[in-house]
């Protein structure tokens, strides 16, 4: 199965090379880096490494970066798309374990969880993020009917069917994009799995501060409220009812749909 790694990048020059070096290229067919107007040498390094590099004209945010990346990966024929932050916060050597359940057809989406192990705080996660993560994960499991150890990891893998179904283009351009994807996974009855993932926090790793974390938490709770209204039949929110094809230009959809299926 064609595996494409997407890297949503912003000022990742210091960590991009070491992240790239840890990717198991024997199972990865292509790497796409989308640069969100970095102010360092991220683009130059990506091009030196031979990565397919897309450069945004203006900063579109973390969610907007993913939208560009997923569309490009789908047009390039990806059957499995792995999101890997280029800041080396997540262990890229775990990609084979992450995608294996999708290859077997057991799950449609996989998450690398930092809470399946017992060294989350020891790995450097700030206490306020630990508490916030635990609270939000409890709420999300309750609302979405899941039993996951974590909802907020940025190390994820998706099947082609998953990404060509959920209307991710309707999602936020900010960090809550990831929470909205999980709500859409539940709305479309996709199966979500997880594997253990070591926790890495260090100076060069990208991480939102306390204020942005609060905004993210409140936005996630708002997403859960919207999903709850939808499940109760009190709302027909298009984020949970329309498919990707119904929310994008038919010309761009034709590029995705025309990709030859694997033999």
Under DSSP, the state recorded for 12 is -
Cβ-contact 111, 83 below 8 angstroms: no
CA distance 50 to 156: 23
CATH fit for domain 3-253, picks 1.10.10.10, 3.90.1070.10, 3.40.50.720, 3.90.550.10: 3.90.550.10
pLDDT digits (tens, 9 = 90+) for 160-205: 999 999 999 999 999 999 999 999 999 999 999 999 998 776 666 6
CA distance 153 to 198: 11
CA distance 155 to 221: 21
Largest CA distance in the chain: 52
pLDDT digits (tens, 9 = 90+) for 10-60: 999 999 999 999 999 999 999 999 999 999 999 999 999 999 999 999 999
Res. 117: pLDDT tops 80: no
Banded pLDDT at 259 (limits 50, 70, 90)? confident
In the predicted model, what is the mean pLDDT of residues 222-232? 98
**Is residue 209 packed enough to be buried (19+ CB in 10 Å), middle (13-18) or exposed (0-12)?**
exposed
**Phi and psi, residue 81, nearest 5°:** -115, 125
Q: What is the pTM of this model?
A: 0.94
- Residue with more model confidence, 212 or 78: 78
Within 8 A by CB and 6+ apart from 155, the residues are 83, 84, 85, 90, 91, 94, 98, 111, 112, 197
Within 8 A by CB and 6+ apart from 62, the residues are 8, 10, 36, 173, 174, 175, 177
Cβ-contact 25, 103 below 8 angstroms: no
DSSP per-residue letters across 237-254: -TTTTS-SGGGS-HHHHH
């Amino acid at each position: 199965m064609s595996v494409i790694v997407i890297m949503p990048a912003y000022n990742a020059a210091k960590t991009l090379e070491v992240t790239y070096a840890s990717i198991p290229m024997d199972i990865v067919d292509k790497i796409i880096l989308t640069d969100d107007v970095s102010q360092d040498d991220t683009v130059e390094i990506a091009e030196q490494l031979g990565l397919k590099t897309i450069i945004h004209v203006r900063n579109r945010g973390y969610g907007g970066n993913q939208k560009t990346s997923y569309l490009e990966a789908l047009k390039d024929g990806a059957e499995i798309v792995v999101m890997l932050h280029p800041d080396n916060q997540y262990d890229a050597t775990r990609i084979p374990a992450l995608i294996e359940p999708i290859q077997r057809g057991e799950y449609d989406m996989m998450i690398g969880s930092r809470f399946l192990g017992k060294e989350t705080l020891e790995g450097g996660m700030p206490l306020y993020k630990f508490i916030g993560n635990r609270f939000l994960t409890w709420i999300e499991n309750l609302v979405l009917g899941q039993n996951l150890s974590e909802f907020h990891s940025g190390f994820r893998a998706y099947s082609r069917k998953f990404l060509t179904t959920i209307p991710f283009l309707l999602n936020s351009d900010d960090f809550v994009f990831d929470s909205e994807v999980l709500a859409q996974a539940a709305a479309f009855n996709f199966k979500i799995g997880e594997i253990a993932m070591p926790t890495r926090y260090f100076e060069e790793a990208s991480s939102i501060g306390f204020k942005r974390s609060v905004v993210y938490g409140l936005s996630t709770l708002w997403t859960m409220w919207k999903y709850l209204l939808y499940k109760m039949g009190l709302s027909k929110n298009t984020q949970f009812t329309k498919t990707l094809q119904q929310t994008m230009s038919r010309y761009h959809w034709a590029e995705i749909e025309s990709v030859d299926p694997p033999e």
